[in-house]
Amino acid sequence: MKWLTILNPASSGRRTEKRIDYIKDNLSKISEKMIVTTHQGHAKEIAQEAKDYDGIAVAGGDGTIFEVINGMDIKRQVIGILPVGTANCLAREFKMNNLKDGIKAIKGSHTEKIDILHLKFTDSDDNQTQAYATITLGLGYPTNVAEFANQKLKFMGNFCYPVAALIIAFKNVSKSYSIMLNGNQPEKKTLNGLIINNSRFAGNFTLFPDAKIKDGRFEVMETNANFFSQTLHNLSVFSGTYFYNPANQFSSNLMEIITDEPHNLMVDGEIFENITKLSIEMLPRSLTCHTNGV
């Protein structure tokens, strides 16, 4: 088995840069080569050129994994996760909470096939994009939280998402959406936020405690909350007590969304601007990950 390591030194507010030598040393016997990314989109470009490798070890966060799975051949290649990002949602699905757990999984032979989301979206200039995602998509409130956290608060480490969630709750704006589930008639909804999740986690939040990453379904949360109810909801999720939930929740495997005005779309922490149309299709058990089997 031939491994390539792709390391994003900018992950976790550039803390990963200091861990390059440690990762290199610990994977020297198993990974033939390590490439350190230099710009956004670079991890995807490296993965596209890595067809000679059987496995790609990703040292970064969920945003780096997002780039890699969109460049690699998911039918043939496998990934290993070195969870050195801010939230590390995918690694947490498999109780890989630190670098040691990630290294152990790559050295071991246990693999699991997980569900991924296949997205197609169109922007206001009619450009169409396709992408795979492993964790989360958001429109409205969650997207504004991710954007603000990424741009202004990464220095706070683990606290960047909850702090952003509180600040952005002040500026909640409702917008109109047409939502179609499984090809049924579209339903018009006025919402200030929409979250679609493959994982239990979104950022540091355990937003969908019952979600499973191998059940062929994704979870949907629609919110139309004011500052007070949004903040109560954030607190209830962040504290893990779920004492307050004003949101409409359901699961699906095929969904289309059309917005009246262009929206920024967040996919696994990355932002795509001015999106007017989006479809999400579940691809059950379509990505193979090295895990520790726990």
- SS3 sequence, the chain? CCEEEEECCCCCCCHHHHHHHHHHHHHCCCEEEEEECCCCCHHHHHHHCCCCCCEEEEEECHHHHHHHHCCCCCCCCEEEEEECCCCCHHHHHCCCCCHHHHHHHHHCCCEEEEEEEEEEEEECCCCEEEEEECCEEEEEHHHHHHHHHHHHHHHHHHHHHHHHHHHHHHHCCCEEEEEEECCCCCEEEEECEEEEECCCEECCEECCCCCCCCCCCEEEEEECCCHHHHHHHHHHHHCCCCCCCCCEEEEECEEEEEEEEEEEEEECCEEEEEEEEEEEEEEEEEEEEECCCC
Nearer to Mg ion by Cβ, of 104 and 212: the residue is: 212
Nearer to Mg ion by Cβ, of 148 and 208: the residue is: 208
Nearer to Mg ion by Cβ, of 93 and 270: the residue is: 93
Nearer to Mg ion by Cβ, of 24 and 212: the residue is: 212
Nearer to Mg ion by Cβ, of 113 and 212: the residue is: 212
CB of 101 to Mg ion, least distance (A): 22
Residues that bind Mg ion (CB under 5 A): 212, 215, 217
CB of 249 to Mg ion, least distance (A): 13
CB of 88 to Mg ion, least distance (A): 18
CB of 7 to Mg ion, least distance (A): 29
CB of 220 to Mg ion, least distance (A): 11
